[in-house]
Structure 1
Amino acid sequence: MNVSFILILLLFGAIVTYFSGDKWAKIVAFAFSLASVAGSLYILNQHNAGINTGFVANWISNPNLFIALKVDGLSLAMILLTTALTSIIVYSSFGNEYKNSKSFYALVLFMSFAMIGTFLSADAFLYYIFWELSLIPIYFIALIWGNGDAEDRKKAVIKFFIYTLAGSLFMLVAFIYLFQKAGSLMIGDLYQIHLTEQEQLWIFLALFLAYAIKIPIIPFHTWQANVYQKAPAVGTMLLSGIMLKMGLYSVLRWQLPIAPVAAKMYMNVFIALSVAGVVYGSIVALKQRNIKKLLAYSSLAHVGLIAAGAYTLTLDGLRGAVLQMIAHGFVVVGLFFAVEVIERRFKTQEISEMGGIRIQDNKFASMFMIVMLASVALPSTFNFVGEFTLLYSLYSANIWFSVIAGTTIILGAIYMLKMFQHVMLGDANTKVFNPITVNETLVFVVIIAVLLFFGLYPKPINDMITPALQEILIKINKQ
């Protein structure tokens, strides 16, 4: 079995989910998402056994394009993250009722299909198609099933769509130019092109625009908070947990190896820009009164740190970036799910209207606290492993980058603990907080188990991703 099976499974699952009807849609979607997890684990087992599970087939002869899927430790890590979180996200939605749920869950599976295609593509044109395809389902999920005033929601979603599409067009122009130079869009051929410093700079900047908007990195972040707030919980979790990782992954897979000279020349500029996002996101999060916006700016700070580590062009920086991508995916899904649990009961996202939840449900408060502490990188949690590695890589580049980026730990602890105090502690709320259900508890248990297990034993992921990252560094350092 090759890796194309996972893509076919998810695409077929989206179709079957749509035709299963509203009554069975969520069950069918969850079954296919679990099947994709099983398929991913099987591919991992084959990869560990030294079996090539990639796929290459001729697609278009003129121009010369391929359906090419590359499997290495880096892409495998992203596939496992996507399939695992898709299953958790679908299951977490069982407590909600969605109008036209067959379309809703079909779009979720289709989005997972497109994101995995982005992580696997080894032909730039195929990669671009999957990159754009992932926009379509999240646009409709946020627009149709989102929160708040319909007009405000429409403005936020259209802004996100236009921003992301505009950035992607710069990436497309870069690929067209590279095709003229190489006569191919296969990633291996693009790595071999010898570009002048000026050419590399323009290619680097064109790709940077696409990735900086998707991640996002300031000042390209202005779409994020409103979309996170307006999207339904499932949409917010897909965006923050998986979709933004497409940009971070692409920095490692496409941007740095294709334009390594530009990356080295302007390394400090892009690290500084990413670190600025860490400080900015943390400070703005301190001022938020809407809990989803607070978490959106918290996410901005964390992904800024990930991008900064990637741009150090060191093995520790790249490895820390991947580790933190995975850890951030699980913790941010856990945090947004906690918000969804509260919103189901209190019908609000305003922190001032919460409080006293611990008195009514101590179990939920305890699980929320564990996920919250993981987000501020408490030792023994997965996020600590990633953040420590990233800060170490920044220290190697410049001690001041590490010192400034380290404020994310201090500021993060302040705004997260302050949020926890206002949301969970205090006198009992006049609104009734019904105890969390078995299904809701199971979501938290799975997320917490991942965060604690890999916080104490990250070796399996380290061993999986390191060879692929070493190959990328070799390509970067050739020029």
Structure 2
Amino acid sequence: MDVSYLLILLLVGAFATYFSGDKLASKVALVFALASLGMSVYILNLFNAGQNIDFLSAWITQPKVAFALKGDGLSLAMVLLTSALIPIIIYSSFGNEYKNAKSFYALILFMAFAMTGTFLAADGLLYYIFWELALIPIYFITLIWGNGDAEDRKKAVVKFFIYTFAGSLFMLVAFIYMYQRSKSFLIEDLYAMRLTVKEQTWIFGAFFLAYAIKIPLIPFHTWQAKVYQKAPAVGTMLLSGIMLKMGLYSVIRWQLPIGRFAAIEHKNIFIGLGIAGVIYGSIVALRQNDLKKLLAYSSLAHVGLIAAGAYTLTLDGLRGAVLQMIAHGFVVVGLFLIADIIYRRYQTRTIGEMGGIRQQAPKFTSLFMILVLASVALPSTFNFVGEFTVLFSLSQINMGYAILGGTTIILGAYYMLKMFQQVMLGETNKKAFADVTFNEGFSLVAIVAVLFFFGLYPKPIVDLITPSIEHILTFINRTN
């Protein structure tokens, strides 16, 4: 079995979900999502056993494009993140009702198909196609099933679509230029190209525009908070938990090895941008009274630190960035699920209108508190492993970077604990707050279990991703 079977399963699942009808759509989608998780684990076992799981087939003759999929430790780690989160996201949505549910859940699986393809693609044009396909489902999920005024929602999602699409066009131009030089889109051929410093700088910049918008990094973040706020809970989880990881993954997989001279020469600039995002996101989060916007800016701060780690061009930096990507994916999905559960009970996201939930929902309170502590990198949680490794890599470059990057822990602890206090403690809201239902509790417990397991024993993921990162570093550090 190769990784193409996983894409086929997700695509078939999307169509099967659509044709199953509104009543069965959520259950059919969940079955296919769980099947994709099982297949991902099976493919991982094949990979660990030394079997070839790559797929390569001629696709387009002119220009020469291959349907090339590569399953290495790095790509499989991101595929497993996607495969693990999609069932949780779908199952957690069972507490909401959606009009035209068959389309809603089909779009979720189609988005999972596109994101998985992005992580596996080993041909530049195929990668670009998957990258753009992932935009379509989230556009419609936010536009049709989003929150608030329809006109405001439309403005936010159109800005997001145009902004990200425009940035991606620069990446496409870079791929076309490289194809003219190498007559190939295959990733190993692009890695092996002998480009001048000037050529690499332009290509690096083209990639940066696409990735900085998707992640997002400041000053390319202006779409994020509004879209996170307007998207339905499922849309926000997909965006924050998985989709932004496409940009961070692509920095490591595509941008750094191909534009290595530019990455080395301008390293301090991009580390600085990442750290600036940490400080900016944290300060703006302190001032938010909307729970989803607070979590959006908190996410901006965390991904800024991840990007800073990746741009250190060190083994610890890249490895820490990947570990933190996975940890952030789980914890941010859990936090946005928390926000959705509160909205289901109170029909508000305004922090000032909440309070006293702890007295009515002790199970919910405990799970929420664990996720808050994981978000601020409490030792023994997965986030601590990732953040510590990234901060250690920054200290190898400059101790000042590590100190400034560490503000994400200090400021994060302040605004997250303050938010928890305002939402959960104090006087009881006049509305009753029921404790978590079975599907809400199961989804949150599954996330918490992952965060503690890999927080205490990260070795399986470290062993999985390290050889791939070392392979990429050999291209970054070569002298010619």
**TM-score bracket, shorter-length normalisation:** over 0.9
> In structure 2, how many angstroms separate the alpha carbons of the residues matched to 1:332 and 1:309?
19
- 1:217 aligns to 2:217 (yes or no): yes
Superposition RMSD in Å: 0.4
Q: Report the Cα distance in structure 1 between the residues aligned to 2:88 and 2:141, rounded to whole angstroms.
A: 17
- Tell me the CA shift for residue 104 of structure 1: 0.1
Residue 62 of structure 1: how far off its partner (Å): 1.5
User: After TM superposition, what 4+ stretches of structure 1 lie above 4 angstroms from structure 2?
Assistant: none
Counterparts of 1:159 and 1:60, CA distance in 2: 33
The aligned amino acid for 1:72 is D
1:374–1:381 contact (8 Å) kept in structure 2: yes
Q: Does 1:419 align with 2:429?
A: no
User: Following superposition of structure 1 onto structure 2, how do residues 40-439 of structure 1 map, counting pairs within 5 Å?
Assistant: 40-439=40-439
Deviation at 1:215, TM superposition (A): 0.2
Q: How far did 1:166 drift?
A: 0.5
Contact 1:92 1:443 (8 Å CA) reproduced: yes
Tell me the CA shift for residue 372 of structure 1: 0.7
| Distance across 1 between alignment mates of 2:52 and 2:310 | 27
Displacement of 1:429: 1.2
Q: Give the C-alpha shift of residue 9 in structure 1.
A: 0.3
Task: Give the whole-Å Cα distance in 2 for the aligned partners of 1:64 and 1:99.
Answer: 43
Unpaired segments ≥5 residues, structure 2: none
Pairwise CA distance, 1:107: 0.1
SS in 2 for 1:59: strand
Task: Report the alpha carbon displacement of residue 317 of structure 1 after superposing the two structures with TM.
Answer: 0.2
Q: What is the identity, as a one-letter code, of the residue corresponding to 1:193?
A: M
TM-aligned CA deviation for residue 428 of structure 1: 1.5
Letter in 1 for 2:158: I
Superposition deviation, residue 471 in structure 1: 0.2
Aligned AA (1:102): K
In the aligned structure 1, how far is the partner of 2:246 from the partner of 2:75? 11
In structure 1, C-alpha distance between the alignment counterparts of 2:432 and 2:227, rounded to whole Å: 29
3-state secondary structure, aligned to 2:222? coil
How far residue 11 of structure 1 moved from its aligned partner, in angstroms, is 0.3
Q: Distance in 2 between matches of 1:320 and 1:112?
A: 24
Q: Which runs of 5+ in 1 are unaligned?
A: none
CA deviation after TM superposition for structure 1 residue 74, in Å:
0.1
| C-alpha separation in 2, matches of 1:155 and 1:109 | 25
| CA distance in structure 1 between the aligned counterparts of 2:128 and 2:450, rounded to whole angstroms | 32
Rounded to whole Å, the distance in 1 between the matches of 2:219 and 2:70 is 32
* Corresponding residue SS for 2:67: strand
Q: Matched residues in 1 for 2:34 and 2:81: separation?
A: 13
CA distance in 1, matches of 2:6, 2:236: 24
Q: Output one character per residue of 1:398-436: Cα deviation in whole Å (capped at 9) or x when no partner.
A: 111111111000000000000000000012211110121
Calculate percent identity across the aligned residue pairs: 71
| Residues 215-259 of structure 1: per-residue CA shift (max 9 Å, x gap) | 000000000000000000000000000000000000000000001
The code of the aligned residue for 1:114 comes to A
Structure 2 distance, partners of 1:203, 1:427, is: 56
1:426 aligns to what SS in structure 2? coil
Scaled by the length of structure 1, what TM-score is found?
1.00
TM-score, reference length from structure 2: 0.99
**Matches of 2:7 and 2:354, distance apart in 1:** 42
**1:359/1:427 contact within 8 Å kept:** no
Measure the CA separation in 1 of the matches of 2:196 and 2:439: 56
User: How far apart are the structure 2 equivalents of 1:217 and 1:438?
Assistant: 37
| Structure 2 SS opposite 1:307 | helix
**1:103 CA displacement:** 0.1
SS in 1 for 2:218: coil
Q: Distance in 2 between matches of 1:177 and 1:61?
A: 18
Give the secondary structure class of the aligned counterpart of 1:450: helix
SS of the equivalent of 1:277 reads helix
Provide the C-alpha distance between the structure 2 equivalents of 1:234 and 1:273, rounded to a whole number of angstroms: 29
Counterpart AA for 1:69: L
- The 1-side partners of 2:456 and 2:89 are apart by 25
